[in-house]
Amino acid sequence: MHTHVRHLIELQTVDVRLADVRARLAALPKRLAEVNSRVEAVRTQLAQAKDALSKSLRDRKTYEMDVEQWKEKVRKYKDQTASVKTNEAYKALLHEIETAEKEIAAAEDRLLERMVAGEEYERQVKAAETLLVEAEAAAKIDREAIAAEHDVAEKERVAFEAQRSRAVSAVPEELLDIYVKIARKHSGVALSEVREDETCSMCRVRVRPHTYQMLRDPNCEEIFHCESCTRILYATPQSQPAAATQTAALAQSSKSSET
């Protein structure tokens, strides 16, 4: 395996971990916003319930005033009946009294509806206040968990970036540029191990047998790319005894063919 490929494998391992840490860090603000949004939703629910209750109380006072105003008119009309001198005027007052009493009944019905609705709004306010307490308590726990995750991930990010700097320093600039270009093209994965079935582990395309043997040669100093996905290839090197055995077998095969 090429010496620089070893360094690239180390670099890719760090880059994959670093990408994971950065993704976790990038996701935290959204999670925090979701936590805050849940609390704000309950606050909005509480505010709406309070607004509805306040309007109901204002309506209730209005209807109470309507009842009192119409009752006052009835009292006034009844007082006037004692002083009227004609049947027509008396009948007119009776009609006004009847009309006022109908208005009293209607206003009392509206008042009763507001009182019932007010009780429901009071129940909604109390329920929303309980929900808000629960939501804020849960949000506090979630925020603390997110803050803890951020601290851990931030420490990992700093450590991995330091590792990456060391790994990068061992790779020639030209090869590093190639690595970066391939990684950008393939979601951060620029290297691919060749499997035992002689296929690229990333795109599953078979590599040439000669390439596979070269990749497994511990002394190989050549860099190979997958002919399909262009990733830099590597393979687990053969052990020295196994390599020697294969070399001997190839040599014996060559002698037999000559005879």
pTM: 0.66
For residue 117, the model assigns a pLDDT of: 80
Please give the Cα distance from 27 to 20 (Å, whole number): 11
Q: How far is CA 119 from CA 63, 128, 130, 142, 237, in A?
A: 16, 14, 17, 34, 80
In this structure, how many other beta carbons lie within 10 angstroms of the beta carbon of residue 122? 15
For residue 251, the model assigns a pLDDT of: 35
DSSP string, 3-43: HHHHHHHHHHHHHHHHHHHHHHHHHHHHHHHHHHHHHHHHH
For residue 13, the model assigns a pLDDT of: 95
For residue 1, the model assigns a pLDDT of: 74
Token look-up 């929303």 returns 128
Please give the Cα distance from 213 to 200 (Å, whole number): 14
Domain ranges for the chain: 3-169, 173-258
For residue 254, the model assigns a pLDDT of: 38
User: What dotted CATH number matches 3-169?
Assistant: 1.10.287.1490
For residue 230, the model assigns a pLDDT of: 96
Per-residue confidence of the chain (259 residues) as pLDDT tens digits?
788 999 999 999 999 999 999 999 999 999 999 999 999 999 999 999 999 888 888 888 888 888 888 888 888 888 888 787 788 888 888 888 888 889 888 888 887 888 888 888 889 899 999 999 999 999 999 999 999 999 999 999 999 999 999 999 999 999 999 999 999 999 999 999 999 999 999 999 999 999 999 999 988 889 999 999 999 999 987 654 444 344 344 334 434 444 4
For residue 16, the model assigns a pLDDT of: 95
- Return the exposure string of 138-150: e unless at least 16 CB atoms fall within 10 Å of the residue's CB, then b: ebeebeeebeeee
Question: Is 223 in contact with 4 (CB distance < 8 Å)?
Answer: yes
For residue 172, the model assigns a pLDDT of: 94
For residue 29, the model assigns a pLDDT of: 97
- pLDDT tens, position by position, 126-146: 999 999 999 999 999 999 999
Please give the Cα distance from 98 to 136 (Å, whole number): 56
- pLDDT tens, position by position, 31-69: 999 999 999 999 999 999 999 888 888 888 888 888 888
